[in-house]
Structure 1
Amino acid sequence: MAGAEETGRLVLPGVLTAAQAEATAGWIAGQQRADGAIPWSTGQHLDPWDHVEAAMALDTAGEHRRAAAAYDWLAEHQNPDGSWYAGYADGDPTRPSDLGRESNFCAYPAVGVLHHYLATGDDAFRRRLWPTVRAAVDFVLRLQRDGGQLGWRQEADGRAVPDALLTGSASGYQALRCALALAELAGEAQPDWEIAAGRLGHAVRRHPELFLDKSRYSMDWYYPVLAGAVRGQAASERLDRHWAEFVVPGLGVRCVRENPWVTGGESAELALALWSVGREREAVEILRAIGRLRTADGRYWTGYVYPDDAFWPVEQTTWTAGAVLLAVAALTGDPPTTAVFGGARLPRGLDRDCRDCPR
């Protein structure tokens, strides 16, 4: 298990002590199955995106063996077309609970694989997982639409859903940049990926009309910043524009604009977005606000309905805890985490619009 030496890097006054970081990492590790799968919690389902988020959190706490096992689970259970199913009951690969395949779920392992490699320098791991990443990206790009956006899902019957989600496409943009970094390390040029990343970033930055209107959800507000598609002044302006709609002072971030419900995952992700554009003080304030979601043994409730003074839903999830650890890792300067979420040195593809694109 992670010890004080590893989690000492995750000390953030008013947010986490080394012992608290160790407890949270230990709880995530305790939910991991023997085969490497990390469900939301024991008995709940696994989806590939949240599985990766939890694995990345384990790496921030020095749990590299466990993180590697999580990525090996993905490699072992990848579908022949490069995808993963959208859900697995209790993380059991023989019991898919949703036979659809979602583009951002299948793209995100590239972020985690690069993060793990940067955390460990393990070339054997990178070489072993590269074919998995390559196949997954090829699947994702088969869902890319003419405007550059990613169709969000392929149904169980093979039908591609043409509709695109801004949050999912933004996440896919971050993943494509990480995949391009892995391609460079593998010595395999991927010019089609470079074009696809450029088109996708342009769509996220400039063409909201290409996406379903999910603006009532806070993720659509901050995710283009978190994923690195929008940076600089444009990023701060975007965050300021809807701040009052989603941020509840002293409590955290609403998941949905009109609902009196703050959630740990969205709050930690906003903290990451704020950090990525140099607004560390506000990021720390957001993380301190969600301290009420923390249990004594290091778990995090998914959300809090503040008029009722009630935690809801009645669950603690590995991805919520993982998002908190990743946000703290970025704020405390963990190099792998700052690399994949800061994005300064990630390839950006062939951008069509470079006025405010990441550099």
Structure 2
Amino acid sequence: MISRAEVVRTAESIAAIQQDDGGVPWPEGHVDAWNHVECLMAMTVAGLDEPVRRGYAYLARHQRADGSWPMKLVDGVPAELGGETNHAAYVAAGLWHHHLVTGDRAFTERNWLMVKAALDYVAGLQTERGEIVWERDARGRPSAYALLTGCSSIHQGLRCGVRLAELLGDPQPHWELAADRLAHVLTEHPEAFTDKSRFSMDWYYPVLGGAVRGRQAFELLEREWATFVVPGLGIRCVSDQPWVTGAETCELVLALDALGDRGRARTLFSDVQHLRHEDGSYWTGWQFANRKHFPHERSGYTAAAIVLAADALLELSPGSGLFRDLAGTAVFDPEVCGCAAGTGSRVPPQGAEQGETL
């Protein structure tokens, strides 16, 4: 485990890459709403109020009339115009998390209309069966398919939006209905989603997003544990490559913690500390066949996942139970899990699969 001071230092490494306009970019230089919000959540845990406020102001400035955000922004200018549903939904998770940590109702009220527009955009792209398609393209056309990881994250955003609505006395029952229908599809209709099963995110995200809990969740995680988990290093980003990544590993930590499986959560969190840099930032990943960091970058979203996982395990802030409290209560049962001894949006960068640039 790492100390509270080390957690703050990691959050400060995110603040160090924040742009003057408030955006928190990928190493390549673009900003997307989902990873931007994740970074704001991490800085909120660390009490970095000023960069967090600038980050939410950035979101408010760049939200479009339909409630969405451009898929990519570079220096504040849209670089990809499609609007991803999971990007829009995650803003609700971020604002609910901010309220849990700070209790700042005035801030929540100021950003409420932004969340309402975002979740209405999301709910408007739900199909008759219940899945939510992944985007509306630059011409305003809904995508023809849905993504399991994205819909799992959307489920979390809708649940958080319902709680914000209750807090502010502005009920949005259609969001709750949308979340219920989406949860049903996530648990009962795998055929609704385009096959991305080689990505670890498609494995654990239904648990992380709160749609799958209890015995079904433990069984789901056991099914592919040996496929993705590399003891001592973390988890693979994709099943067929010798490449572990810090963000995916910490998201699995959060999923395990949500189920009460803190033994394996702590083990994985400890395992991934080999990615920590001396300045508190984190390398994105490690290619363990070639024994090189890949890509050769330290990313804000990886640092953010580290901070959120540390908060869940160490309970550093009042928002530490965000993922744990999403849906129901699932107590860790080693007989169900079978492994009592202990031991998901981001696309692999160019060259990760062939290894020619590693």
Task: With the length of structure 2 as denominator, give the TM-score of the two structures.
Answer: 0.89
CA distance in 1: counterparts of 2:144 and 2:271, whole angstroms: 38
Q: Does 1:210 align with 2:180?
A: no
Residue 36 in structure 1 maps to residue 18 in structure 2: no
The superposition leaves residues 288-331 of structure 1 with CA deviations (integer Å, 9 ceiling, x where unpaired) of 11111111111111111001000111111100000010001011
8 A contact 2:213–2:327 mirrored in 1: no
Q: Secondary structure, in 3 states, of the residue corresponding to 1:49?
A: helix
What is the 5 A alignment of 1:281-300? 281-300=263-282
Structure 2 distance, partners of 1:214, 1:194, is 27
- Among 195, 203, 214, the alignment partner of 1:232 is 214
Match of 1:88, SS state, is strand
State how 1:168-317 maps to structure 2 within 5 Å. Answer: 168-317=150-299
Structure with the bigger percentage of helix:
1
Residue matched to 1:88:
73
Distance 2:56 2:181 in 1: 28
Are the counterparts in 2 of residues 67 and 116 from structure 1 also a CA contact under 8 Å? Answer: no
In the TM superposition, what is the alpha-carbon distance from 1:237 to its structure 2 partner?
1.0
Instruction: Indicate whether 1:20 and 2:6 are aligned.
Output: yes
Tell me the amino acid that sits aligned with residue 283 of structure 1.
A
1:62 aligns to 2:47 (yes or no):
yes
Task: Check the 8 A contact 1:47/1:87 in 2, yes or no.
Answer: yes
Kindly report which structure 2 residues correspond to 1:102-117, keeping only aligned pairs within 5 A, or say none. 102-117=84-99
Determine if contact 1:106/1:140 at 8 Å carries over to the other structure: yes
Q: Deviations over 1:2-29 (max 9, x none)?
A: xxxxxxxxxxxxx312332232111111
8 Å CA contact retained: 1:268, 1:323: yes
| Structure 1 unmatched runs, 5+ | 1-14, 347-359
C-alpha RMSD of matched pairs (Å): 1.4
Between stretches 130-139 and 149-158, larger displacement belongs to 149-158
Structure 1 296/86 Cα, relative in aligned 2: closer, same or farther at 3 Å? same
CA contact (8 A) 1:117 1:123 kept: yes
> Which position in structure 2 is the counterpart of 1:6?
none
The structural deviation recorded for 1:153 is 1.0
1:356 paired residue number: none
1:65 Cα offset (Å):
2.7
Does structure 2 conserve the Cα–Cα contact (< 8 Å) formed by 1:64 and 1:120? no
Deviations along 1:62-112, one digit per CA (max 9) or x if unpaired, are 1123212211211122101110011111xx22x212111100011100000
SS in 1 for 2:143: strand
Matching residue of 1:351: none
Offset of residue 344 of structure 1: 5.1
SS of equivalent residue, structure 1 residue 244 = helix
Identity of aligned residues (%): 47
CA distance in 1 between partners of 2:121 and 2:40 (Å) = 22
How many Å separate the matches in 2 of 1:121 and 1:17?
24
Determine the C-alpha separation between the residues in 2 that align with 1:189 and 1:20: 40
> 1:158-205 deviations in whole A, cap 9, x for unaligned?
111020000000100000000001111121121211211110111111
Question: What amino acid is aligned across from residue 198 of structure 1 in structure 2?
Answer: D
Tell me how far apart the structure 2 counterparts of residues 76 and 318 of structure 1 sit (CA, whole Å): 21
Distance 1:344 1:217 in 2: 23
Query: Matches of 1:241 and 1:272 in 2, distance apart?
Result: 18
CA distance in 1, matches of 2:309, 2:8: 15
State how far apart, in whole Å, the 2-side matches of 1:33 and 1:73 are.
10
Q: Distance in 2 between matches of 1:212 and 1:128?
A: 37
SS at match of 1:338: coil
> Unaligned stretches of 5+ in structure 2?
329-358
Alpha carbons 2:210, 2:326 under 8 Å: kept: no
Contact 2:109–2:168 (CA<8 Å) still a contact in 1?
Answer: yes
1:97-131 C-alpha deviation (Å, 9 max, x unpaired): 21111000111000000111111111111111000
Corresponding letter in the other structure for 2:22? G
Aligned partners of 1:100 and 1:160: how far apart in 2?
10
Q: How many residues align?
A: 328
1:118 and 2:100 equivalent?
yes
TM-score norm. by structure 1 comes to: 0.89
User: Which one of the candidate residues 30, 38, 41 is aligned to 1:53?
Assistant: 38
Give the secondary structure class of the aligned counterpart of 1:37: coil
Structure 1 residue 345: Cα displacement: 7.3
